[in-house]
Amino acid sequence: MIFLAAVSLVVAFLFAIVFIRSARDHAKRYDASKVQRFHSGDVPRVGGVAILLGLLAGWLMGALSSAYGDKVNALVGVGTAVTWMLVVLPAALGGAWEDMTQRVSVELRFGMTGLSAALACWLMGVSLNRLGLPFVDGWLAAVPWLGLLLAFVAMVGMTHAFNLIDGYNGLAGTVALLISLALAHVALQNGDRQLAAFMICMVGATGGFLFWNYPRGSIFAGDGGAYLWGLVVAIGSITLVQRHEQVSPWFPMLLCIYPVWETLFSIYRKVARGGSPGVADALHFHQLIYRRIVRNVFDEDEARRILSRNNRTSPYLWGFTLMSVAPAVLFWSYTPALVFFCLVFVTSYVSAYLMIVRFKVPRWVRAAPRRAQRRRRIDPNLGTSTLGGRDKAARIEPRPQASREELDQPQSDRQEL
């Protein structure tokens, strides 16, 4: 199974190189007026295509291995692999087309992700048949189409939730990687090697992409990558709960609570302010961390300064993600504990958001490195002093040299230099 992850990683890694070298022209269409833009220069946004190709390569290798003795012990049938491929293609390609043209409407992108979700329900039988709540589970058992509807909404919502958090280098990619690893682990705990293989391929493909995305920022996943992450994670989560009764439905909920709650909170925030939930803004949690917690990086090169500050943002959100992934893996079958940690995450998120908005962040959280605070540079040609990363337009006038006669005079008689 590790072999499949390696295949996916290498393929995604190599195609990312190709796109970095040959796909910069389309990046010029993503102009600086975008409120979601936090980078300098024209960076290719087709990393999602590299992830897709790596993922498909891993799945195809697993199917071929199963057809010829299954030496990787993944139990991936050819028909199952082809079905997964057909399901993910509409959403991934629709997002990639938007990344390359910037002309695909929101409605069409919703339609493409909806098509992928509908194919999953139809071809794979994906259905959310229980929620861990007895009174709701009774309704789902009595009305099967409700489970299909919930699964459809969950898959479409997760694709756009990952797109929402995909704002900084390594953020959404690392979140997807951690969640996929957790799903693969619990699948193996329940003897489901097939599902684990599909998720391990996602880990490998994401790893090959992240090599160039963090901290280099040489390529972005774009909508195509975000949709692919969200869709595969959603299908894997629902399928795991659907196949194994001992897995609590709240296990994937806690795993994905960061992108889910970010989306729900953003909708509430925009509606409460009288805006439209579909209009982009710069008030998401990760954007506030970038603006108000991550200090300016001191470098004369603006592109390097933006890149370094961008890279400092993601680790804060990785910590929030681990707050949910770690307890989810530990208590994947115990619903009360999973519900408790969901509430802990939501409370922590809202408290942190309000602290940032009200400028009440503890000093130790937002403290800049001492070396950066004390850094001082003087340009001998311009006489310009750079302190704290900001150029002070103060010309430093050279002091005149005192003559020997002046030095021999008493202190009170010397002229002030």
Mean pLDDT by 10 residues, the chain (417 residues): 94 95 67 50 87 97 86 86 96 93 90 97 94 88 92 96 92 96 97 95 97 91 95 97 96 96 94 84 87 70 75 90 95 96 96 88 61 42 40 40 44 38
Among 59, 46, 50, 128, CA closest to 87: 59
Look up residue 310 and give its two tokens: 């961008």
> 140, 129 in Cβ contact below 8 A?
yes
Annotated binding-site residues read 163, 223
Q: Is the dihedral of CA 132, 326, 163, 52 positive or negative?
A: negative
Annotated binding-site residues for Mg(2+) read 163, 223
Query: Would you state the pLDDT for residue 301?
Result: 62
Query: Would you state the pLDDT for residue 415?
Result: 38
Instruction: Measure the CA–CA gap between 289 and 284, rounded to whole angstroms.
Output: 9
Query: Would you state the pLDDT for residue 413?
Result: 43
3-state DSSP assignment of residue 383:
coil
384-387 and 376-379: which strand pairing?
Answer: antiparallel
Look up residue 174 and give its two tokens: 């690392």
Query: Would you state the pLDDT for residue 281?
Result: 81
Q: Name residue 390's beta-bridge partners.
A: 387
Q: Name residue 378's beta-bridge partners.
A: 385
Q: Name residue 1's beta-bridge partners.
A: none
> 200, 193 in Cβ contact below 8 A?
no
> 182, 328 in Cβ contact below 8 A?
yes
CA geometry: angle at 176 spanning 170 and 178, to 5°? 95
Task: Please state whether the peptide bond connecting residue 215 to the residue before it is cis, i.e. omega within 30 degrees of 0.
Answer: yes
Half-sphere exposure of 49 (CA within 13 A, CB side): 19
Mention every residue, 6+ apart, whose C-beta is less than 8 A from residue 410: none
Phi then psi dihedrals of residue 384, to 5 deg:
-95, 130
